Structure 1
């Protein structure tokens, strides 16, 4: 009451509200209070109710709807783009920012933000940015100014395959890092036109940008402080960089957020990794900051000739057709989990459904449930499918009939029943679908074509050097892929080819299909492989880490033998792991789960002076096994150290009984086993699968025995479980077969799609 009396003694709206409440506490009626204070009865009733419901907070000033004196348009745009799917409702944004719905809708029209922001926005800088396709290409910050470098193309961008809207954490970190570099004190807004004198440092940056990004028009938008030069010291900037000022109603901070959100929404290539790199560059604090993003020429989707064998969307087995009710009346509604129907990137794993759904006919989802049941069993009757999936007999019969008519399932010989009519089991038709798998390794390229049963139709390999020029490397990959497709042309119907899976050494940015400095492949740093391959193969292309691809292939081809959680240890040029957990491939937040080397280093206590886990030699078997054997006294035959030939020589000697060679293999296997022990204890799994090009017939026994010993003798819960260590069902081409299997996995594995995280 003391606060109310203090408000009542003052002036303004709070005084009237306080007097209404004080008079009401005296028992006066609304009409009497209105007469005494000279206000309407509605006003008295409003403030009495607010006092009763919210106390003092209910009497305080609230933001009112309607256009305020100034509206930050870029903040409205950023909020709209950060909404799920980039289509935030104008009314929700208006309520959040205290604006009118009409104001928000007007801003969205001015920026050309419709229901599908991926179709290109219009950025109203002064002058406006030309073109509908806008990229963030660079940032320049020195003691005086900050410049955002934008790129534009006149063409409207195609719909993004995956919406990679940045999270609020990344945008806040970006704005905070820029703010930390901003000079102290008030900063005057940029004047019209360029600064009075040339700025050689900025001019050199713009010249470097035009040379680095020759395929896109560049525009420099001044975020704060003076203008910017439009000419280099020796003449015009190559490419003609144009100068722009911020939109009239936008702050530099909100404009930066809006541009980053718009770029990431329109281009899956502009992933969190790109902007985290920018935040890291800004965070180093050294002026000037001269950040340029990687070249996007490979992302611009140039038109190219088609490969010899391509996917045919008209074929019944093609994933896009199975979700088309018009082409497939039995399918019902569209498949909620059909990532392979979208060309480009792999889709983050979704929770797998354990059974079908009868109440709501999900069409192709139920088809995938049936296909998965058939795949795991090999052959199975319709009644057994219904029992395993929870679908009704009628649903299973209808779906099976549709899949048989489309050639995905075939019927086997009838089984005699003890009662009733004979049962007719069904199985997958291997020839119904095919996929190409490419494995990129520092020493060899491998291409395989497999059918739906996992049988290898053909295999092609080609040696390669890790220091090969990237352009030549891509040409070799393309040539090998086409060679495999041509070789398989007699066995693969043109209308039964589903797509291409590519296995690469990690780490890899799945959103943009960029290989990020893989170990032992220095020439492949930040190569946009996905878009370079899409230029040559206009069909669905999925990129996956080699160890994860091998795990996917193990699950697909292993059928019921791999129908539970397991970890796949991939012995290649380096040891990686692929995890299959809760019925699906576990990729992690960035799709780079399974980095095994650091886990081994920690388990072995191998850390550097700075505490960073070391690169343990045992996690590179082709190099470490010959080295350890030679150290033990193995003579060898002079094969190059660290080569595949030297490794295989030691393996043959160990299999023949050579003690030095066997000791080297056991030493490496024991170190790998210590890392596997960490996986077993962390994940509580009971199956480890070993495979890869260096898990050979000669060496398999040593790895299996030693790793089996470690993961069963030392786990914390060893009294509760027995861990099985088994060889892979895949051949030496495990990664390539697994890469092809990712196409089948993405097409036919039943998943319910959930809301994507920002």
Structure 2
């Protein structure tokens, strides 16, 4: 053992002088530092050599902290059940981590096992977990729905399904959405800031030892009224759940008022838990049981707590009143939704079941080539001729491939090429735009079988909006029914403006669609369709469609610049869509703002108007002297699409003001594209989207091509091609449908991440 620092030696001497459990540990380390062997230390202190070895090892591995936290068997004086639950749920390996949790917390395995049985977290439990509050929550499948904090108390709002019984078979990992220690630590810091801002602070216990906030009885009554209003609001906002108010802490003698009409039940935390660990346990239980309870939900909660703490000095009676969005769309097990007619099931999820990675490799090779012989497949893929023949025979039997006309060979027998059968698979794509809903059904070749659209306004009620999207999908499927084999229907892709929380299927802050913000759209739509439903950002969906339909022309890395209500980017890199950790890769506006030097005084990149073409192009044209088209004026608002099309038509006809406006926006977009080229080192940019119209296409192509080839750092090493999209005006809808083909047929090794929501039945 090395020499002790003066600081550590002083600490150990104090422990040794104080006596008790720490004295022996300190003596072991001090004697070992003086060079004594374990046997001599054991003799001097009258302890076993095993004890000496244990504390020497703990000192070597963990220092002072290792001596303070003794792992021991047997039941300690106090056991925090909620801490055991949290460690169990979030530990690697999930339900099989009992022994490691016991070792980590210094508990016996029997103690941990008993707690897990009490909370019903054992692997063999038939029922879902149980939360032993006082009184216990009446059902399983628990969501964390809200948090109320004022200077007197804190109340956690939990939700359970209506109706009797437990659902599910224990917590299930929501792949990729389980929160980590970083999120819990962030919540801890935010709570500490809230407690520091509150008069008197709070303590880590079931109750806070402090008096009411300023204002005496009147102030306390005001706070109780505020909580009662909050609970009533929660009951109105979440009518599909049974709500339970769990008091985390309150002032001495404080009570939680029951809302009128008994809209929810009142509970206290379990006796053998602190409020802080119980809150962690509830969050862990929620996030591991529900994919919609993603990191974003709890990052939002932490942000709300921080805002409250920062505002305390200005609003001494303000309260945290956090309520999450409705989870009604995730309660499908409770009812049979009003969806398609019984004979319109479209549930062919497992019919196309690819048995191997090599099958996907063959399909991808055929798709890129159009038509190709078996020998050419073997040459391009490196597979043996026998393997290719076997795989091709299987795919032919299942109707995924079909044979083409024979080719005459220079020697030997004629060769029969194969190609994809377009009718082997179909998918429905739905694009959600602030002004119009578009739905298309496409086949495996990317051909549009049918398309329908429906106008929509941004102020449409969310419930009516979801019903209109579902109705449009049903109508489009009904129209395509004669051309689509039910057993080959893969599912539905939905393209939405970003940012989007893919894990929870929630549209967060869509431009010009504020009424639909925080709408759990994916799970609401799943109520209407008994088939896989995937959600993608519109620009990412467009990139998927470009890759699939572009075949060999898009068989390399590229960035898709999507000109819609805002400019977004879809990225296809290293043979797959690149979505990023939150599936929001490709947000273009801030990159463009930085490239243009548009940064506010606070350092935040500004919202660049050029990155909203349907608004900026008409405004620039009118300011440049163009005569306003009939019915179109400055700030056209909802008429911006008509204004944009009118300016584009004028620019193509030679109007100087219109042409200058389009060119100015194209130059700004080009500066952002330059950042993409330098950052990603790509040599292909694809332009598309609803506002990349034929009238303005040449302006964008010319300006962006010039910028990305004249200014990049590595311009001498590559030529960047800028090409129009192979997709039609329905790029996002076609791309959304293509995500089903991409998820099903693109070759990936098992274990690689697939798009969120992709069915496990569609194996690669």
Q: State the SS of the aligned residue for 1:147.
A: strand
Structure 2 residue 721 is the aligned partner of structure 1 residue 724: yes
Match of residue 535 from structure 1? 527
Q: CA deviation at 1:615?
A: 2.2
Question: How many positions carry a matched residue from both structures?
Answer: 702
Please, which runs of 5 or more residues in structure 2 have no aligned partner? 313-317, 755-764
Secondary structure of the corresponding residue to residue 450 of structure 1: strand
| Shift of residue 416, structure 1, vs aligned partner | 3.6
CA contact (8 A) 2:438 2:730 kept: yes
Counterparts of residues 535-574 of structure 1 (less than 5 Å): 535-574=527-566
With the length of structure 2 as denominator, give the TM-score of the two structures.
0.84
1:440 aligns with 2:432: yes
- Is 2:485 the partner of 1:493? yes
Cα drift, residue 63 of structure 1: 2.2
Which deviates more from structure 2 when the two are superposed, residues 254-263 or residues 1-10? Answer: 1-10
Residue 606 (structure 2) pairs with residue 614 (structure 1): yes
| 2:691 is aligned with 1:694 | yes
Q: CA deviation at 1:217?
A: 1.2
Q: CA deviation at 1:65?
A: 2.8
Q: What's the counterpart of residue 216 of structure 1?
A: 241
Separation of aligned partners in 1, 2:644 and 2:205: 67
Q: Secondary structure at the match of 1:379?
A: coil
Match of 1:292 among 323, 329, 342: 323
How far the C-alpha of 1:739 sits from its partner, in A, is 0.6
The alignment status of 1:714 with 2:703, answered yes or no, reads no
- What's 2:758 paired with? none
Mapped pair 1:749 → 2:746 = yes
CA distance 1:110–1:396, shift in 2 (3 Å)? farther
* CA distance, structure 2, for counterparts of residue 141 and residue 743 of structure 1: 44
Return the alpha-carbon distance in structure 2 between the equivalents of residues 634 and 586 of structure 1. 41
Q: 1:278 corresponds to which residue?
A: 301
Structure 1 residue 421, shift from structure 2 partner: 4.2
Q: CA RMSD in A?
A: 3.4
Q: How do 1:278-357 and structure 2 match up within 5 A?
A: 278-284=301-307, 285=309, 286=312, 287-301=318-332, 302-307=335-340, 309-313=344-348, 316-317=351-352, 321-322=353-354, 331=355
Aligned residue among 728, 732, 736 for 1:735: 732
Q: 1:753 deviation in Å?
A: 4.7
2:270 counterpart (228, 242, 247): 247
1:745 CA displacement: 0.9
- Distance in 1, matches of 2:712 and 2:45, equals 81
Is the alpha carbon distance of 1:306 and 1:387 closer, same or farther for their aligned partners in structure 2, counting shifts above 3 Å? farther
Residue 262 in structure 1 maps to residue 285 in structure 2: yes
The 1:481/1:186 distance shift into structure 2, 3 A limit, reads closer
CA shift at 1:370, angstroms?
Answer: 2.0
Change over 3 Å in CA distance of 1:105–1:423 after alignment to 2:
farther
Equivalent residue in structure 2 for 1:505, among 492, 497, 500: 497
Q: Which residue of 2 aligns with 1:111?
A: 119
Map of 1:147 onto structure 2: 155
Match of 2:642 among 642, 645, 649: 645
Tell me the distance in 1 between the aligned counterparts of 2:643 and 2:480.
Answer: 33
Distance in 2 separating the partners of 1:531 and 1:53: 50
For residues 415-434 of structure 1, what are the structure 2 equivalents within 5 Å? 415-434=407-426
Separation in 1, partners of 2:614, 2:399: 44
Structure 1 residue 263: Cα displacement: 0.6
Matches within 5 A, 1:9-20: 13=24
Residues 1:98 and 1:693: Cα distance change in structure 2 (over 3 Å): same
- Higher alpha-carbon deviation: 735-744 or 283-292: 283-292
* Aligned position for 2:373: 381
Instruction: Indicate which of 92, 98, 101 corresponds to 1:90.
Output: 98
Confirm whether residue 473 of structure 1 aligns to residue 465 of structure 2: yes
- Write out per-residue CA displacement over residues 92-132 of structure 1, whole angstroms, 9 at most, x where no aligned residue: 11122122222212211111113399973101111111101
For the residue of structure 1 that corresponds to 2:419, the secondary structure is strand
CA spacing shift, 1:586–1:15, aligned 2, 3 Å: closer
Partners of 1:742 and 1:545 lie apart in 2 by: 11
672-681 vs 619-628, which moves further: 619-628
8 Å CA contact 1:408–1:432 kept in 2: the answer is yes
CA distance in 2, matches of 1:38, 1:702: 87
8 Å CA contact retained: 2:227, 2:257: no
- The whole-number CA distance in structure 2 between the counterparts of 1:715 and 1:33 is 69
Q: Contact 1:86–1:265 (CA<8 Å) still a contact in 2? A: no
Which one of the candidate residues 233, 237, 252 is aligned to 2:260?
A: 237
Distance 2:651 2:730 in 1: 23
Distance (Å, rounded) in 1 between the aligned partners of 2:125 and 2:693: 51
Q: Per the alignment, do residues 374 and 435 of structure 1 end up closer, same or farther by CA in structure 2, a change over 3 Å counting?
A: same
Whole-angstrom CA distance in 2 between matches of 1:504 and 1:298: 17
Tell me, in whole angstroms, the C-alpha distance in 2 between the residues paired with 1:185 and 1:230.
Answer: 17
**Segment drifting more, 721-730 vs 638-647:** 638-647
Between the aligned partners of 1:22 and 1:727, the Cα distance in structure 2 is 74
- 1:355 is matched with none
CA contact (8 A) 2:29 2:59 kept: no
Please name the residue that 2:179 is paired with.
166
Q: Is the 8 A contact 1:412 1:427 kept in 2?
A: yes
Give the secondary structure class of the aligned counterpart of 1:568.
Answer: strand
Alpha-carbon distance in structure 2 between the residues aligned to 1:463 and 1:535? 23
SS at match of 2:694: coil
**2:142 alignment partner, SS class:** strand
Query: Given that residues 467 and 523 in structure 1 are in contact (C-alpha distance below 8 angstroms), is that contact kept between their aligned partners in structure 2?
Result: yes
Kept after mapping to 1: 8 A contact 2:32/2:41: no
Contact 2:204–2:276 (8 Å) recurs in 1: no
Cα offset, 1:557, TM superposition: 0.6
Where do 1:396-407 residues align within 5 Å? 396-407=388-399
The answer as to whether partners of 2:58 and 2:67 remain within 8 angstroms in 1 is no
Q: For each residue in 1:193-218, what CA deviation from the matched residue of structure 2 results, as whole angstroms up to 9, or x when unmatched?
A: xx999732222222222122222111
Alpha-carbon distance change, 516 to 14 in structure 1, aligned in 2, over 3 angstroms? closer
Query: Aligned equivalents of 1:657 and 1:116: distance in 2?
Result: 74
Counterpart of 2:675 in structure 1 is 678
Candidates 231, 249, 272, aligned match of 1:206: 231
What TM-score, normalized by structure 1, do the two folds share?
A: 0.85
Matches within 5 A, 1:408-419: 408-419=400-411
Distance 1:69 1:703 in 2: 72
Q: Deviations over 1:277-332 (max 9, x none)?
A: 11111112134211111122232224214425443347632xxx44xxxxxxxx3x
**Are 1:217 and 1:239, in contact at CA under 8 Å, matched by a contact in 2?**
no
Matches of 1:237 and 1:617, distance apart in 2: 49
Match of 2:759 in 1: none
Q: Please say if residues 573 and 621 of structure 1, whose CA atoms lie closer than 8 Å, have aligned partners that are also in contact.
A: yes
Instruction: Please state how far the C-alpha of 1:488 moved relative to its aligned partner.
Output: 0.8
Shift of 1:729: 0.4
Check the 8 A contact 2:41/2:52 in 1, yes or no: no
Report the Cα offset of residue 9 of structure 1: 10
Q: 594, 597, 600: which one pairs with 2:592?
A: 600
Asked whether the 8 Å contact 1:692–1:732 carries over to 2, the reply is yes
